[in-house]
Structure 1
Amino acid sequence: MLEPVEIAIIVLTTVVCTAAVMGVALLALRLNRRGSIASQLTVVVAAAIVAIAASTVAVVLEMFFSEHDLTVFVWVIGVSAVVSLAASWLVIRVLARRSAETLKRTAERIGDGAVVDDPRPGWREFDEVSAQLADASERLAAARDEITRLDESRRQFFAWISHDLRTPLAGIRATTEALEDGMTDDPAASLRRIRSKVDTMNRMVDDLFQLSKLESGTLELHREPVVLLDLISDAVVDVADFARMRGISIRRTGLEGHLLWADPRELTRAIGNLLVNGVRHAPNNSEIVVSAATLDDDRLVLSIFDHGSGVASEDLGRMFDVGWRGSAARSAEGERAVEVPGAQDGQGTGDGRGGGHGFVATAGAGLGLAIVRGIIEAHDGEVVAENLVGGFRLSVVLPTGQACASS
């Protein structure tokens, strides 16, 4: 039976030998820090094998084995260590190369734009990287699709806005040429038509500027307590002439007693755009219903329902994008700004922001609903579109704002 002193010598010898070998291994790893995974793992395995062999040989030497027994022992330990190290190096090299090649091929396919599955090379760490690569490929593919869609939308938008700007310019040119040639019997009427076309272009440029502020986040809201009924009343007055021309009535329900903490100018513009959208697409001699209700979480839902045909289900999520139109065949003329008599007579500002200023519908290059979404989101709200039985509903959800109660 070993004495405590002998056990202590054995432990001390083993610790010294192992520490020395591991020190050399750490130095080798540092020098080889840019090497392959296989070489790094081989150094670690070799260090473990050499530490065990060296410790064992040192302890045996201290135990005064015979020269013959020591020789046999050293050969057994040495051959076992070499064979184990060679086998470990071969296994590590094969597994590391296979895993690395799998991940490399996956990364190359992602770089080429492919959506890859999860090949799972076999090691847990590599499997986690592989899963992340597969997830990244899906997200990159979705991002590319979104960029492609936005790029196509942007091209359509510029084509439509160019057409919509050329139309009033062509009208102005034709009218001025008629005036120059003395081919008009009513110069005053011609001047009014020119002014009307200029107002139309001003409104389109104003919408573009408004949209740029919304998309860049530079729109400044001047919030104050606002009575919802007053906002709706102003917006309804602004579109009343347009609605009357088509025999459309606007019914209001549930609007009393609601307060909002909002910018009245911008919010009236958004509501006006929604009303014009409803009047434009509602059948002649029909009714539009404007209603409001309070949700349990201090939010207000304002809805505008018309009896139009609605929007295709796949387009509900895109109809608030810049440049979107319900149909590519829909003419720009039909979608262009709708002018009411008050604006043509110079009574309106053309800013589309309420206050009884002869509101004129937003230009038709897909800006109106995009502006609505921008204004509502700037108020920390959201816009929802729904196809319902017998019609179509656009709703805005707005926080009522606790500041209203404290003001």
Structure 2
Amino acid sequence: MSGPELQAVGLSAGVAAVLGTLGALLVLALARRSVAAAAALAPLVVVGSVAAGVYASARAMFLSDRDSTTVLLVLLASLPIAVAVGWVIAARIQQVTRTAALAAATSQRDREVEAGRRELVAWVSHDLRTPLAGMRALTEALQDGVASDPADYLARLGADVMRMSAMVDDLLALSRLQSPSLTLRRERVAVGDLVSDAVAAWQPLAQSGGVRLTGSVDQPVAATVDASEVSRAVGNLVVNAIRHTPAGGEVTVRVGADRGDAVVSVEDGCGGIPEGVLGRVFEAGWRGTQARTPGDAGAGLGLSIVRGVAAAHGGSAAVRNVAGGCRFELRVPLHAPT
């Protein structure tokens, strides 16, 4: 190989190396923002670097303008192929990225569901163990004839049975709300009537705890909902508020409408919930500290059922701290989705 040829080869390699290096740096910088865009640009960098090197060597070999132009056109003809290859690679990378992200999200969701299931089982097991142990002791005392007051023992057995029955009912309700085959029995109802019924039903519980329970309707609100499920959710909110409000406190239930939703708010005097755990109150089995957990508080499923009812209707459940307590909100759309 003669000297001019070696010079042309060196020039071609140098130009291709410089442009290729600059292009590679550009691709790496772009990859930090978009891997797919970087993949689309990479083939163009390769073809462009080679084309520049070949064209530079052709000019160095003193080819005619016509020959140089021909070489350049041949190289440019490969650009569409490079673009097509780049876009195919980019599309594939995007698909792989989306699949990986979906798989990661699914895996994370599965881990959260499994963690929630384990926590729920632990809570339920704990809450079942206590009344079962008491029932066993009471039963043995009755069987052995050592019960000082059999009628009282039977009454306590009945109370434990009722508590366990309520716990099982909550478990079944939560399971049904989480079922993909859930079908709501929607009808047009006055939400204020549902709230009035709940306030009347739980007034004795409030009075026994020295809590003032009131309800008000800011405006008449009618919604197409499953009346039974919404009543259960409202009742759970009211009971939760009563149980966590000390004697002399007040629980206020209000009904209104906002941005196409029927809104039921329940404000209590619990003293507030720490901000760090405020987002956990709707988790199944979570009941907060012992200070907020009376002995008859159940398995901590009431607020989870509220969230399940809201979600089933396409609505939401939320809580925030207010002066002296908490404000829970249940939102359900005024109209059923079409």
Q: How do 1:151-166 and structure 2 match up within 5 A?
A: 152-166=115-129
2:202, 2:239 within 8 Å by CA — same for their partners in 1?
A: yes
Deviation of residue 389 (structure 1)? 1.9
SS of the residue 1:322 aligns to: coil
AA in 2 matched with 1:299 = D
Find 2:281's aligned residue among 319, 330, 338: 319
1:374 correspondence with 2:308:
yes
Which residue of 2 is the match for residue 53 of structure 1? none
Alignment partners' CA distance in 2, 1:287 and 1:381: 27
SS of the residue 2:271 aligns to: coil
1:291 correspondence with 2:291:
no
Alignment partners' CA distance in 2, 1:124 and 1:331: 54
Change (3 A) 1:287 1:122: closer
Which residue of 1 is the match for residue 165 of structure 2? 202
Change (3 A) 1:153 1:335: farther
SS of the residue 1:250 aligns to: strand
Alignment partners' CA distance in 2, 1:291 and 1:121: 50
1:247 correspondence with 2:210:
yes
Alignment partners' CA distance in 1, 2:136 and 2:36: 74
Deviation of residue 81 (structure 1)? 5.9
Which residue of 2 is the match for residue 15 of structure 1? none
Deviation of residue 248 (structure 1)? 1.0
1:309 correspondence with 2:271:
yes
SS of the residue 1:385 aligns to: strand
1:319, 1:369 within 8 Å by CA — same for their partners in 2?
A: yes
Alignment partners' CA distance in 1, 2:313 and 2:113: 24
Alignment partners' CA distance in 1, 2:40 and 2:237: 51
Deviation of residue 318 (structure 1)? 2.2
Q: How many equivalent pairs are there? A: 285
Change (3 A) 1:119 1:261: closer
1:258 correspondence with 2:221:
yes
SS of the residue 1:190 aligns to: helix
Alignment TM-score, normalising by the size of structure 2: 0.69
Deviation of residue 212 (structure 1)? 1.9
SS of the residue 1:316 aligns to: helix
Which residue of 2 is the match for residue 11 of structure 1? none
1:282 correspondence with 2:245:
yes
RMSD: 4.2
1:336 correspondence with 2:336:
no
Change (3 A) 1:91 1:143: farther
1:180 correspondence with 2:140:
no
2:192, 2:217 within 8 Å by CA — same for their partners in 1?
A: no
Change (3 A) 1:80 1:202: farther
Deviation of residue 317 (structure 1)? 2.3
Structure 1, unmatched stretches of 5+, are: 1-71, 104-117, 338-362
Alignment partners' CA distance in 2, 1:123 and 1:262: 46
Q: How do 1:14-93 and structure 2 match up within 5 A?
A: 79=6, 82-83=9-10, 86-87=13-14
Deviation of residue 369 (structure 1)? 0.6
Deviation of residue 89 (structure 1)? 6.9
Find 2:181's aligned residue among 190, 211, 218: 218
SS of the residue 2:124 aligns to: helix
1:388 correspondence with 2:301:
no
Alignment TM-score, normalising by the size of structure 1: 0.58
With 161-170 and 384-393 compared, the bigger mean Cα shift is at 384-393
What percent identity do the matched residue pairs reach? 36
Max Rg structure: 1
Alignment partners' CA distance in 1, 2:36 and 2:219: 66
Change (3 A) 1:139 1:209: same
AA in 1 matched with 2:268 = D
Which residue of 1 is the match for residue 76 of structure 2? none
Alignment partners' CA distance in 2, 1:230 and 1:120: 55
Which residue of 2 is the match for residue 229 of structure 1? 192
Alignment partners' CA distance in 2, 1:120 and 1:303: 44
AA in 2 matched with 1:385 = V
SS of the residue 1:317 aligns to: helix
2:199, 2:214 within 8 Å by CA — same for their partners in 1?
A: no
Deviation of residue 188 (structure 1)? 4.1
After superposition, give the CA deviation of every residue in 1:88-118 in whole Å (9 maximum; x if it has no partner). 7766887899999x89xxxxxxxxxxxxxx7
After superposition, give the CA deviation of every residue in 1:151-197 in whole Å (9 maximum; x if it has no partner). 55444332221110111111211111011101124434433332332
Change (3 A) 1:174 1:256: farther
